[in-house]
Chains A and B, each alone.
Chain A
């Protein structure tokens, strides 16, 4: 079974609008970390935002926020005021715990291709 599910292969949003990229995860651990990465057409992996399972508040980084709903096991990425440069592939990922106390392996979803149009 997939640990990370991204159900939207592609999303379109108009410039300056907000967009939500969906992500659900599967784990039996109580402790884990959730991440979003951006991959532009140039190919590099860019870290966007992190949410720890212990964090009660949703993470925010500039125009990015993570809508964390622990009971539903969802970690949706919200991008506010979209820009043309936001067009890219977006990956949701989860790090499980290694030996009970540190973050270990990182599992990725299949990604959502976001296109921002003028």
Chain B
């Protein structure tokens, strides 16, 4: 029962390098999200997707791009990494949930720790 899987779990980059974080979910969820977590800041939404082929900006989108070519995958790209992007990145997914639903929680991956030197 995999749920939400993020790869890689750890990565060290040099300033200016590029990389892609992969998120895969096997629950057939419509919604997928990328968050970053920094000390004292909670989790902040970078980008999200409400379905295959759609993406939207969150609270802190600058410096990141995303793609959702397949429903089960949500990719987060850093084209030119900066030290300010050193963080723990979480992917999450959720099904469509009506406002009257008794649930509606997001299911999170284990996180990916990225260090940019």
List chain A positions with a Cβ less than 8 A from chain B: 4, 9, 31-33, 35, 43-45, 47, 50, 52-54, 91, 95, 97-98, 101-111
Contacts and interface: CB of A to CB of B under 8 A. Distances in A.
B90 interface: yes
Interface string B1-45: 000000000000000000000000000000101010000111111
Given A103-B94, A106-B92, A108-B43, 10 more contacts: A31-B99, A33-B101, A35-B104, A44-B111, A52-B102, A95-B104, A103-B98, A105-B45, A108-B44, A110-B41
Contacts of A106: 33, 45, 92, 106
A107 B33 CA distance: 11
B110 interface: yes
8 contacts: A45-B90, A50-B102, A54-B99, A54-B100, A105-B45, A106-B92, A107-B59, A110-B41
